[in-house]
Structure 1
C-alpha cells in the first residue's frame, strides 16, 4: 500500500479516460464510476456478431407481432391493463404514451454523475441483447453520455419493481426530443439540443419505451457510486484511526497481525494492516493506558464489517449491472418471448440497506474518536477542545467544540437513515405491483448516509490533524510515521492550524467535497494493501 493513497484522495479529479466498451463484455462498477465522474466516453462493441444479435432481437419481435402474437406492453396495455388489447394501428403510438404518462417524478433532480451512471446502467442492460431493441436505440443512449445530454431526472417516484419506471421515463423522453435536458451547462429543450447536434430525435419502435423504462438502472447506477464512496471511507477511517492513535499517545500493539489472524475476517485484517502500516516505526511502549478505548482498539473490527460487506455487494451490484432486467425478455436465439419479473430490484435494495448501516457505523466510529480527542478528560494531555490558542487567549477560544457537536448531529442523522427501505413494500397499481423492492429509495438513503458520513470524516480529519500538531507541540519527539506526516501536511494545505477561533464551514465543505469527489474519481485508490 502506497503512503500516497490517502494523499491522492485529496487531489482534484483527473482528466477523462479512454472510452469504455459497452456490449458483449462484463461492465464493472469502476467503469460506471469512470463514465459518471471522469467523463469517460462509451463506445458500442464493434463486433459484427454482437451487433447482428441485437438487430435479430428487434427483427424477431416485429415478425412475432406480424404473426398476430400477443406481447405484454407491445400490443397490450401496461401493468394491470395487460388484459387490454391494443389495436395494431396504435401499437406504434403506445411507447410514447408510456413515456408521457410516467412524467410525474418529484424531489431533487439527480446530479450529473448520478444521471450518467443511470444511463450507463440502462445502456449496458439493453446491450445484453434480450430486450428486443434496435441498435440505433443503443447508439442514442451512447450519444446522451458522449455529448453530455443529461435528462433532468427527478429522484422520487420509483418503488423499485416493474423497474424504475417514472425516473427512467425522463431518459426515454430525452431520446424522443421531449422535456428538458442539461447541455453545455444550461437547461435546454431536448428537441433543440438534438437539432444542434444534427440528430433526429428517436421514434421509439414497439417495446422500446418499455425496454428503456422497465429496469433497475436508477438504483443500480446509484449503487455503483455508493459502492465507490463507501470503499473510500473504509480506507479513510483506518487512516484516521492511526492518526488518532498518535494524537492520543495510544498503542500500536492493538493492531498486531496475530490478533487478526486468529479471528480471520478478511476485511478486519485488511483494516488492521492499513493502520499497522500507517503506524510503522512507532514505539509500542504503553502510554497512558494499557488498553485504548474501544473506538481506537476495536476500529479494525468496525471498519472490517464494511470492508467485508463490500465484497458481496460488488457481486450483487455487478450481477444486476450486467443483466437483462426488463420485461418481457426477447430471446433472439430461441425466438421466444419470456414474461417474467427481472425488473425486481431486491438485490440492490438489500445491498443498499446493508451498506447504509455499515457506513453509518463508520460515522459512529469516527464521531466517537473525535469525541475522545477533543475532550481533555480523555485525550491524554491535549488542550481542551484542541484549541491552539496561547495561554493569554485560551480562556476565550473554544477550538473544535462546535465541530464536535456538529459531527455528532451528522452522525445521529446518518444513524436515523439506516431503517431498511426494502421492508416497506407497498401494493401499487391496482395490486398488480403488489410486492415491490423499494430499491431506489434504499439507494437514495444510502447516498444520504454517505454524504453525512463524509461530513463526519471531514470534521474528524481536521480535528485529528490539529490534535497531532498539538501533540508535537507538547513533545516534539513524538514519533509520527511518514504516511501520517504527509497526510497531515496535505490536509493543512486545505485547512491551516487553528490557533485562534475561526469559522470552519468553508474548510469543512472543501474537505468534504474532496473526500466525496476523490472516492468517485478512482475507487481503486487506497483499496489495496
Structure 2
C-alpha cells in the first residue's frame, strides 16, 4: 500500500524536521504520509544527479570506487555499483541490534533522504515509509560501524533486507528477509548505485540510538527525583538542604529546578526530628547531582536533535546552485561526544541509586529499620539479593563508561585516519540507560519494602500516591521469593509515570 493512501497518518514526512519523541513511536508500525512536495523535491535532485553523470562530472560512489579506492573506476552499470556497495559492507558481527534501534534508524534515514540533497530515487523514500508502516525490521549486527563514514556496515544490512536479502524480523520473529517482506505486504526494493550509497552513507543508527538513550534518561532523571523524595519522606529527613536561597546561591539553574521538584514531592512531609543535622550526600546532595545530570542530558538532547535534522551523507547535491559538494557530513563526532556524556550521566545517577539502596538496608543509617528490610532477619533476607545485583550493575556501568569518542584508530587504508566511534558511544549510552532503569526498579522495590517494615505514615501527597502505586504492583516481602521479574515490573511502572518529577 502506498503511504500516500494511509489515513490518518501518525506522522507527515516533509523533509524538514524529525521530533525526538518520534523515535520511540517507530518501535511499532508507524503510519507515515509523505508531504506533497517531498517526492517532487527528491525527484528533482535525482534528475540533477543523472544530468551530472550524463555530463561526465565526477560523483563519488557513482562513477568511482568506494573509500580509498576512489581513484579507481566503479562498475559499469548503476545496478552493479549498488550491488558492490552493499555486498562488501555486509561483514558485521555480533548479536542483532534491538529492533527498536533499527526501526528508529530507518526513520532517521528516511527523514534525511527526504530533504532532497542525497540524489536518491524517490521510490527508495517511499519504500522506507512503507516498511515503517509494518512490523518489518531488518536484522542488523551490532558490530561494524565506526561512525566515521556514516554507519556503513549496519545500514548496509537495512538496505539489503529491504531488497529481500539477508534476514529480517516480522512481528518479532527472525526469518529470511524476502519472507519477512512477503508477510509484511512489501515488495523487494530495487536500487541502483547512488541509492545504495545514500542509504548507508549516514549516521542514522548513531542518531537513533543516542536519541533513544536521551528519551530513556529524561524519564530516569524524573524517576531519580521521585525516588529520592520518597526515600527522604520514609526516613523522616528534614529539608534544610532544599532551601531555595541555598540552592540559588549555587548558581546553577538546573540545581535550583531539582530542589524545587524535590520540595514539591515532599510538600506535607513531617520530619521525625531524630535525624542527624546533615544527611549523607546521597540525600543532601541530590539537587546538585540531579541538577548537573539535567544540564548534561539537555546538552546531549540538543546535539541529538540537531543530528535528527541533519543530512549526514556524501556527496550532497544542490540543483538550485548546480553544485555537487563532496565532504564529511557523515562524520559522527558531535553525537559521539554527546553519547559519551550520556553514559557518564547514567552511571552517576546509577551510583546515586545504588548508594541510596545501601543506605536504606543499613539499620545504622536508616532510622533503625531492620537490616536488609527483612521482617525476620536471618530467616528472611528480603532485598539482599536485589542489592547484590544492583552492585553488579553499577560495576558494569562504570566499566562501560570509558569514552568511545576518543578511541580513534586509523583504518580503511588510512582513508579514515581519524574516527569518532559515535555508533559505539551511542549504543553504549542506550545500554547504560537500560541498566539505570533496573537500578531504579531495585531502589523502588526496596522503598516499597521499607514502607512495609516501617511504622511511619507518609503525609506528603505526591509520595503517598507513588507508594500506593508501588504497593498495588508488588506485595510486601513477607517470605523470600524471586524478585528479578518484580524489579523489571517496577522499572516499567516508573517509566509510565508522567515525565515531570
TM-score by length of 1: 0.89
Measured in 1, the distance between the counterparts of 2:322 and 2:193 equals 17
- The structure 2 residue matched to 1:43, chosen from 33, 45, 55, is 33
- The structure 1 residue matched to 2:446, chosen from 463, 477, 489, is 463
CA drift at 1:252:
2.2
Instruction: Pick which of 270-279 and 249-258 moved more.
Output: 249-258
| Structure 2 counterpart SS, 1:181 | strand
CA drift at 1:18:
5.1
CA drift at 1:247:
2.2
- The structure 1 residue matched to 2:101, chosen from 94, 114, 119, is 114
| Structure 2 counterpart SS, 1:155 | strand
Q: Contact 2:85 / 2:193 at 8 angstroms: preserved in 1? A: no
- Equivalent positions of 1:98-247 (< 5 A) are 98-195=85-182, 199-247=186-234
CA displacement 1:181-237 (0-9 Å, x = unmatched): 111343333333444556542221331111100100001011111001001111111
Measured in 2, the distance between the counterparts of 1:327 and 1:420 equals 27
CA drift at 1:384:
1.3
| Structure 2 counterpart SS, 1:29 | coil
CA displacement 1:242-293 (0-9 Å, x = unmatched): 1111222211232222222222323222222221111101235643211111
Measured in 1, the distance between the counterparts of 2:59 and 2:137 equals 31
Q: Contact 1:229 / 1:450 at 8 angstroms: preserved in 2? A: yes
1:504 maps onto 2:483 in alignment = yes
Q: What is the aligned partner in structure 2 of residue 400 from structure 1?
A: 383
Q: What is the aligned partner in structure 1 of residue 437 from structure 2?
A: 454
- Equivalent positions of 1:24-39 (< 5 A) are 24-36=15-27, 39=29
Measured in 1, the distance between the counterparts of 2:482 and 2:184 equals 47
Q: Contact 1:151 / 1:170 at 8 angstroms: preserved in 2? A: yes
The runs of 4+ residues in structure 1 deviating greater than 6 Å are none
- Equivalent positions of 1:484-503 (< 5 A) are 484-503=463-482
Measured in 1, the distance between the counterparts of 2:470 and 2:393 equals 21
| Structure 1 counterpart SS, 2:168 | strand
Q: What is the aligned partner in structure 1 of residue 14 from structure 2?
A: 23
CA 1:76 to 1:460, structure 2 compared with 1: closer, same or farther past 3 Å? same
Measured in 1, the distance between the counterparts of 2:163 and 2:322 equals 28
Q: Contact 1:235 / 1:271 at 8 angstroms: preserved in 2? A: no
CA displacement 1:43-63 (0-9 Å, x = unmatched): 2112x3x43221111000001
Q: What is the aligned partner in structure 1 of residue 328 from structure 2?
A: 341
- Equivalent positions of 1:283-302 (< 5 A) are 283-284=270-271, 286-302=273-289
- Equivalent positions of 1:217-366 (< 5 A) are 217-284=204-271, 286-366=273-353
Measured in 1, the distance between the counterparts of 2:106 and 2:309 equals 14
Measured in 2, the distance between the counterparts of 1:300 and 1:212 equals 44
Measured in 2, the distance between the counterparts of 1:118 and 1:207 equals 19
Instruction: Pick which of 316-325 and 493-502 moved more.
Output: 493-502
CA drift at 1:34:
2.0
Q: Contact 1:252 / 1:282 at 8 angstroms: preserved in 2? A: no
Aligned-residue RMSD, C-alpha: 2.0
Instruction: Pick which of 331-340 and 163-172 moved more.
Output: 331-340
Q: Contact 1:243 / 1:465 at 8 angstroms: preserved in 2? A: no
Instruction: Pick which of 459-468 and 491-500 moved more.
Output: 491-500
Structure 2 unaligned spans of 5+: 1-7
CA drift at 1:138:
0.5
CA 1:259 to 1:469, structure 2 compared with 1: closer, same or farther past 3 Å? farther
CA drift at 1:512:
3.3
Instruction: Pick which of 211-220 and 486-495 moved more.
Output: 486-495
CA drift at 1:411:
1.0
Q: What is the aligned partner in structure 2 of residue 5 from structure 1?
A: none
Instruction: Pick which of 313-322 and 91-100 moved more.
Output: 91-100
Q: Contact 1:455 / 1:512 at 8 angstroms: preserved in 2? A: yes
1:73 maps onto 2:61 in alignment = yes
Q: Contact 1:399 / 1:501 at 8 angstroms: preserved in 2? A: yes
Measured in 1, the distance between the counterparts of 2:197 and 2:251 equals 47
CA drift at 1:338:
0.5
Q: Contact 1:57 / 1:132 at 8 angstroms: preserved in 2? A: yes
1:423 maps onto 2:410 in alignment = no
| Structure 2 counterpart SS, 1:330 | strand
| Structure 2 counterpart SS, 1:333 | helix
Q: What is the aligned partner in structure 1 of residue 499 from structure 2?
A: 526
CA displacement 1:136-167 (0-9 Å, x = unmatched): 11000111110222100111111111010000
Q: Contact 1:128 / 1:322 at 8 angstroms: preserved in 2? A: no
CA drift at 1:180:
1.3
